[in-house]
């Protein structure tokens, strides 16, 4: 039985509109985060139905929060005037942080690693077996595998 109903969807979306993460909004809606992700996946798979409605409501709530943040930034950019006519600016950094962390409005950075003279990076893998706790059957299987590998190697 699913907990997906209008009340759960509203609680989830109200949390997202406030800027809560999916985990916190799911707790607010009294559902598990896996239920949320499962419903989202089902919503992407159906063209209509309760899961599709849930998906669209969640996306709308996310867009609503992003719009609130953008509006707050724009208001701060424009500034304000106090009772004495002095220009007053608020602290818009909180809205920018919300945009970065909740809505992926972030600077994209990448790092490329290369080896000597721009070539590939040399790597080496070493496998270590601890035969001290192996059973006789495991030791026999390891010996057989190593014997086969030795015969295959020129």
What range defines the domain where residue 86 resides?
A: 6-103
Q: Do 87 and 80 touch, CB atoms closer than 8 A?
A: yes
Give the CATH number for residue 54: 1.10.10
- Is residue 44 situated within a structural domain? yes
- Collapsed DSSP state (helix, strand, coil) of residue 28: helix
**Per-residue tens of pLDDT for the chain, all 154 residues:** 788 999 999 999 999 999 999 999 999 999 999 999 999 999 999 999 999 999 999 999 999 998 998 888 777 766 677 788 887 766 777 777 767 766 666 666 778 888 888 888 888 877 777 777 778 888 888 888 888 878 887 6
């Amino acid at each position: 039985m699913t907990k997906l109903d209008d009340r759960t969807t509203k609680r989830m979306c109200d949390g997202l509109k406030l800027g809560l993460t999916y985990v916190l909004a799911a707790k607010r809606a009294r559902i598990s985060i896996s239920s949320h992700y499962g419903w989202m996946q089902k919503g992407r798979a159906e063209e209509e139905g309760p899961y599709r409605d849930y998906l669209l409501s969640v996306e709308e709530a996310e867009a609503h929060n992003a719009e609130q943040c953008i509006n707050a930034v724009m208001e701060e950019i424009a500034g304000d005037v106090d009772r004495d006519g002095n220009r007053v600016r608020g602290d818009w950094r909180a809205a920018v942080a919300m945009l970065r962390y909740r809505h992926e409005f972030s600077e994209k950075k990448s790092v490329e690693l290369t080896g000597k003279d721009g070539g590939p990076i040399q790597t080496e893998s070493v496998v270590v077996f601890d035969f001290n706790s192996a059973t006789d059957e495991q030791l026999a299987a390891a010996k057989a595998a190593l014997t086969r590998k030795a015969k295959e190697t020129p």
